[in-house]
Amino acid sequence: MSSPFIHDDFMLQSLAAKELYHHFAKDEPILDFHNHLPPDEIADDRRFENLFDIWLAGDHYKWRAMRANGISEERITGDVSPREKFDAWAETVPHTLRNALYHWTHLELSRYFDFNGLFSPATADEVWEKGNARLSEPNYSCRGLLEMSQVRALCTTDDPLHSLEHHEAIAKDPNINTRVYPTFRPDAALWVDDANHFNSYADKLSDVSGVDCSSLAGFCDAIRARHDFFHEKGGRLSDHGLHHLFEGDCSQDQAETIFNKVRRGKNADEAETEAFGSYLMLFFGELDASRGWTKQLHIGCERNNNERLFKTLGRDIGCDSMADLNHVATVGNYLSNLDKRNHLPKIMLYNLNPKDNYSLAGMMGNFQQAKPGEPPCRLQLGTAWWFLDTKEGMEWQINAFSNNSLLSRFNGMLTDSRSFLSFTRHEYFRRILCNVIGKDVENGEIPRDMELVGDMVRRICFQNPAEFFGLELP
């Protein structure tokens, strides 16, 4: 009888890789410092009715694959039954060979539902019945899945307007063993090109902060107040998801002129939007630096390319792409402008186009000067993101980081996911990491000193991010 597809040595291609994974990586807990998990579901300890609810709903990675496989939109995002959508995914999975989705799918089925066969229409009934039976067990709630995955802490992604009431409830609940922290994502404050949206946002910001936002100074004070609030609730990271960095020059007078124009109901033009964004991004950097936070920058996505589907289904439905831009100059200018002001916080930069890996990893090295009380390698090229969240993409990122910085200081993996089953991505990353390093050991390119090399692996998996971000851990 042949061994199952997902087995103990899955993807581990050398004796060194196997030793590194099984002895140093496998059992490390998880600190998931960037995801989109809904905190209300953790607070309420949501239970899932069926495999569709926990596994397919909202997963735009799977939606893209199903569209490529010729599945009708009705069976992807339409009104057909959960089982019919599940069957559409079963039809698609055999065609995802060499796509990371094939690996993710089988890792998730193996780790959470003890299914070690190959998922296809032929096994769909077995998986559906077995998976749904498991979901009815007491420990298959949101909290139970976090414990099962050994998640010590996770950081959600939150707008400054959020009340953080669910984070507060989680923090007060003695029955939750995973720490859940908010991440400050103020991107909505940047978009002065849409006066109606911006003014609605500014009014809401005024309401939640208690600060009058009729002036630019008041608007910034309100944002600062929310930043302070997030800090009080344990938040230690901010995040931006941007097509490109705003990094131009914009004086306070110019920013005030633009702000006042928009508050009068007139849209900012493209140049004004760039200028105002530049002003605020420096302000956001100052806030993060003042609190010792880490700023995460996700750059390089062309969003909502399919206008028809965007109008009918909205955002985050699998119709985004990697941009083809020159980020090096803009990133360098932004970091330099913060540095000149002594407002350069710790930075995790995630790029989406692999052509930028080496140039941006090298750029990070220009601003690594040590700061008292802060960890080494203050600026990092973050883990492979979104379209690069693949075996090949992770290998590219590891190689770029290794050759331009100190891999031993790397903060490792995150899920960037909305699913409670996606923590297998940490396992996937760890196997790839051990395989890359194990190959170097076998080739004699790094010493066969497993305590030295294994300690680096162990630190990347958990200890580095635990020390870097300054989160309170259980």
pLDDT in tens, 160-185: 999 999 999 999 999 999 999 999 99
Phi, psi dihedral angles at 17 (to 5 degrees): -60, -40
* Beta-carbon contacts of residue 365 (< 8 Å; ≥ 6 apart): 379, 404, 405
The residue out of 118, 135, 152 marking a domain boundary is 135
Query: Do 68 and 207 belong together in one domain?
Result: no
In this prediction, residue 2 carries a pLDDT of: 66
Query: Do 399 and 350 belong together in one domain?
Result: yes
310 falls within a domain: yes
Work out the widest C-alpha separation in the chain, in whole angstroms.
Answer: 74
Between CA 303 and CA 309 the distance in angstroms is 12
Query: Do 227 and 90 belong together in one domain?
Result: no
Which amino acid is located at 228 in the chain?
Answer: D
The residue out of 135, 166, 181 marking a domain boundary is 135
Query: Do 170 and 124 belong together in one domain?
Result: no
**Cβ–Cβ under 8 Å, residues 82 and 53:** yes
Q: Where do we find the tokens 């690069």?
A: 388
* Beta-carbon contacts of residue 380 (< 8 Å; ≥ 6 apart): 347, 348, 349, 364, 401, 405, 409, 410, 411
32 falls within a domain: no
Q: Is residue 379 within a helix (H) or strand (E), and if so which, with residue range?
A: strand 379-381
157 falls within a domain: yes
Query: Do 173 and 121 belong together in one domain?
Result: no
39 falls within a domain: no
Q: Where do we find the tokens 């999975």?
A: 93
Between CA 234 and CA 251 the distance in angstroms is 33
- Domain assignment of residue 382, given as a range: 142-189+203-216+223-244+280-469
* Beta-carbon contacts of residue 213 (< 8 Å; ≥ 6 apart): 202, 203, 205, 206, 219, 222
Query: Do 150 and 296 belong together in one domain?
Result: yes
Three-class secondary structure of residue 81 per DSSP: coil
370 falls within a domain: yes
380 falls within a domain: yes
Residues in the chain with pLDDT values less than 50: 1
CATH number of the domain residue 295 falls in: 3.20.20.140
Query: Do 110 and 238 belong together in one domain?
Result: no
256 falls within a domain: no
CATH number of the domain residue 86 falls in: 1.10.2020.10
The residue out of 114, 135, 156 marking a domain boundary is 135
**Cβ–Cβ under 8 Å, residues 318 and 64:** yes
268 falls within a domain: no
Query: Do 68 and 174 belong together in one domain?
Result: no
User: For strand 237-242 and strand 379-381, is the pairing parallel, antiparallel, or unpaired?
Assistant: unpaired
Between CA 302 and CA 324 the distance in angstroms is 9
Query: Do 390 and 355 belong together in one domain?
Result: yes
Between CA 267 and CA 193 the distance in angstroms is 5
Give the chain's length. 474
Distances, alpha carbon 286 to alpha carbons 82, 338, 452, in Å: 47, 8, 38
Query: Do 63 and 166 belong together in one domain?
Result: no
Query: Do 117 and 150 belong together in one domain?
Result: no
Number of folded domains that form the chain: 2
Query: Do 131 and 147 belong together in one domain?
Result: no
**How many CA atoms lie less than 13 Å away from 417 in the CB half-sphere?**
21
